[in-house]
């Protein structure tokens, strides 16, 4: 079972799908609505959750502004695709079960790349 914190912009359908397959997912839209990206990193760290987002600001926060990262961050780059394209891409990514802990992962249809995160204890 994986533990995730899905940003507000993350599709609710995918959150439900992840929960149905047994993952522990907190959806910011349900419990942390309106929180800044920086503010979401704190509960993600405290609860040992990997952040799921479509928001590029997380890369800026952790690599350029020095914010303490979550245990992992996944940035999905699916442009402005319709849900009929987005949902199968997300499901395919999670079905592949890549190791996300300790990485900033950028995922696009059919591929992903990872950059190691500095220690969250820094």
In tens, the pLDDT along 42-64 reads 999 999 999 999 999 999 999 99
Structure-model confidence comparison of residues 80 and 4, the more confident one? 4
pLDDT tens digits for range 23-41: 999 999 998 988 999 999 9
pLDDT tens digits for range 92-105: 898 888 999 999 99
Residues 71/120, Cβ–Cβ less than 8 Å: yes
Report the Cα–Cα distance between both ends of the chain, in Å, rounded: 27
Strand, helix or coil for residue 98:
coil
Alpha carbons 91 and 84: distance in angstroms, whole number: 12
């Amino acid at each position: 079972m994986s533990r995730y914190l899905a940003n507000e912009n993350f599709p609710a359908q995918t959150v439900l799908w992840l929960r149905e397959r047994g993952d522990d997912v907190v959806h910011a839209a349900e419990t942390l609505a309106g929180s800044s990206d920086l503010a979401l990193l704190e509960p993600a760290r405290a609860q040992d959750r990997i952040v799921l987002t479509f928001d590029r600001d997380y890369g800026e926060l952790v690599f350029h502004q020095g914010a303490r990262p979550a245990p992992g961050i996944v940035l999905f780059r699916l442009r402005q695709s319709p849900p009929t394209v987005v949902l199968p891409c997300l499901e395919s990514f999670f079905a592949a079960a890549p190791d996300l802990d300790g990485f900033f992962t950028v995922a696009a249809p059919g591929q992903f790349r990872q950059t190691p995160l500095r220690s969250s204890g820094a």
